[in-house]
Chain A
């Protein structure tokens, strides 16, 4: 028996069973633990960039997961991957929390961390697509966009940190994100095209 009428005809029962967020939404306690295991590093990493590695970041992570449990039912695999949905919910919570606390973050270096966690194939694919998009930006645009989107810094904070005029920061952040969105849309199209008949997403060695 399929679940077409429940999931718009695009998902099989197997896909539903594999999808952690559907299971979370259905109240499966094992799925919440698995979700923390799979995405805890991602949510923590974003929180650390927004708030520094302090107690605030830990509280923020807890809030983000509570939001995720409430929002899991709204996840649509046709719109984004699970990892991106989790990061989206976390960013929203952290932006809101930063507005409330208005604490300055300890800026973290923009290098990849050595203490890294393994990622799912889905996350690797997303990372490849977004990494490709970042590579196509000018260095100063990439720097500003990462500070704004991944470190949660306000435009004023970025202007102070980089010495760029506020208007330039605003333009780089916004046009950079628009460019990434366009590149991701093209890449998503390529991925879907390439995925036909293939068992692994592009960029993942099987």
Chain B
């Protein structure tokens, strides 16, 4: 049994195991407890970091070049710095839009990772179940976990070791087995892709309400997914009870 404060510290260091996440949930820990530890970690960074930002990066971000800094400028004529602000704003918006396309932003504006942490901390009924790999070629050593809250009807899958897919050739699809549904027809949890990055967090998009989830399974399907899976390629499974 880990102490409440140590669990909060683990959260602030980004090192919470699925078992500890479940423990945090059982203890009813709040986001404020983790936030307090994040403040301590951030204070350590303030204490130990004394770098100067490279002038070129500062200029790229829109900051003022530091005195004496050599900045290579591509402009050939003087420009009123106030005139470039709209361009900087436009560039920032474009960058934000690109980032939004590249990563799984949720409607709240938080990243999927932040939303996942929030769901675990705030939903008393949130399940955190580790994946079991099935030796499928798409992820023989796949790991991670699935988080699901029945009250919020919301969840996230976290994967490590699942092979990147070509969305034009195949996609991954989540299936949620519900005690109140015929097991031949599990609930479609949505299709998703895995990129080359090491760990991915994917929001679950269940097509209908989930009542009593008994198992989560990820299969490999044709692009766009299927209505009924042949279950030929099951990559990972997560049973909610033994």
Q: Which residue of A lies closest to B40 (CB)?
A: A181
A189 within 8 A of B: no
Q: Which residue of B lies closest to A100 (CB)?
A: B197
Interface residues in chain B, defined as those with a beta carbon under 8 Å from any beta carbon in chain A: 2-3, 5-6, 8-10, 12-15, 36-54, 57-58, 60-64, 66, 85, 88-89, 92, 95-96, 99, 103, 109, 111, 113-114, 160, 197-201
- Binary interface profile of A, 163-177, with partner B (CB < 8 Å = 1, else 0)? 000000010011101
Q: Are B198 and A102 in contact (CB under 8 A)?
A: yes
What residues of A have a CB within 8 angstroms of the CB of B13 in the complex?
A: 148-149, 173-174, 177
Q: Which residue of A lies closest to B58 (CB)?
A: A40
Q: Are A84 and B53 in contact (CB under 8 A)?
A: no
A46 within 8 A of B: yes
Name the distance in Å between B53's Cβ and chain A's nearest Cβ. Answer: 4
Ranked 3 nearest A-B pairs via Cβ: A102-B198, A36-B63, A45-B51
CA distance A138 to B51 in the complex (A): 26
Quick one: given A29-B85, A96-B113, A113-B50, are A40 and B61 in contact (CB under 8 Å)? yes
- The residues in A between 153 and 202 inclusive whose CB is less than 8 angstroms from any CB of B are 154-155, 170, 173-175, 177-178, 180-181, 184
Q: Are B45 and A112 in contact (CB under 8 A)?
A: no
Q: Are B50 and A45 in contact (CB under 8 A)?
A: yes
User: 12 more A-B contacts (CB under 8 A) besides A40-B61, A45-B50?
Assistant: A41-B50, A42-B46, A44-B54, A90-B45, A91-B41, A99-B14, A126-B43, A130-B47, A178-B6, A181-B9, A184-B39, A184-B43
Quick one: given A33-B62, A44-B57, A181-B36, are A83 and B199 in contact (CB under 8 Å)? no
Q: Which residue of A lies closest to B56 (CB)?
A: A58
What residues of B have a CB within 8 angstroms of the CB of A175 in the complex?
A: 6, 9
Q: Which residue of B lies closest to A88 (CB)?
A: B42
What residues of B have a CB within 8 angstroms of the CB of A146 in the complex?
A: 44, 48
Name the distance in Å between A120's Cβ and chain B's nearest Cβ. Answer: 10
Q: Are A85 and B42 in contact (CB under 8 A)?
A: yes
- Binary interface profile of A, 122-152, with partner B (CB < 8 Å = 1, else 0)? 0100111111011000000000011011101
Name the distance in Å between A176's Cβ and chain B's nearest Cβ. Answer: 8
A12 within 8 A of B: no
CA distance A181 to B13 in the complex (A): 13
Q: Which residue of B lies closest to A40 (CB)?
A: B53
Q: Are B50 and A66 in contact (CB under 8 A)?
A: no
* In-complex Cβ contact of B92 among A33, A69, A113, A116 (8 A): A69
Q: Which residue of A lies closest to B81 (CB)?
A: A33
What residues of B have a CB within 8 angstroms of the CB of A66 in the complex?
A: 92, 95-96, 99
CA distance A66 to B47 in the complex (A): 23
Q: Which residue of A lies closest to B93 (CB)?
A: A66
Name the distance in Å between B141's Cβ and chain A's nearest Cβ. Answer: 14
Q: Are A113 and B9 in contact (CB under 8 A)?
A: no
Can you list 6 A-B pairs with a CB-CB distance of less than 8 A? A29-B88, A44-B53, A66-B95, A88-B38, A127-B46, A145-B44
